[in-house]
Amino acid sequence: MGNSLRAVLAILTVAIFAVAVSSGARAMTAYDFNFVSIEGDPMPLKAYEGKALLVVNTASFCGYTPQYKSLEATWLAYKDKGLVVVGVPSDSFNQEYSDNAKIKKFCDTKYNITFPLTESNNVKGGKAHPFYQWVKERGGRDAVPSWNFNKVLIDAKGNFVQTFRSDVTPESPDLREALAKALPTSP
């Protein structure tokens, strides 16, 4: 997928978001947002409707990068219970490759990642992906990633639940407790 098509998809997502917010249409959920996969394919979150999401902004050169291992373990332990871990590589904190192929190779060879990864996206500021703008709208300024490996928990209805900061690991009791409540009652 070319950069111009990605730009058009991003503009359309922002436009839909703005129209929905301004028109008072039904409340948006996480499932209303679209990413592009690390392979360059469309990756609508609607494909995961009915499942809880743990959306994590990742980076290859961060002190928290070893969390990839526990994110993969969480994905494997919970995917049959209705959880999707979504990795969102980001260079918003200047610790990620600028090339999606290099990010994918790093994740594949170093951590054997099998959970879905998006292409690299901005996660903060005016150029943040629309999903992260929505997270800020739902959770306030404190919900915006302040560093890599920030975790956004979405329940099985697509609602924002809460954000966990970088130092909260995927095996943290607080995160696991919130995750258990966010899972669908029957996956």
Tell the burial category of 32 from Cβ atoms under 10 Å away from its Cβ (0-12, 13-18, 19+): buried
Query: Strand (E) positions, 62-103?
Result: 83-89
Secondary structure (3-state) at 60 = coil
Closest CA to 53 of 26, 79, 35: 79
Residue bearing tokens 């995160």 = 175
Task: Choose, from 9, 20, 62, 183, the residue flagged as catalytic.
Answer: 62
Q: Is 107 a catalytic residue?
A: no
Query: Which tokens hold the place of 18?
Result: 């703005």
Residues with a catalytic annotation lie at 62
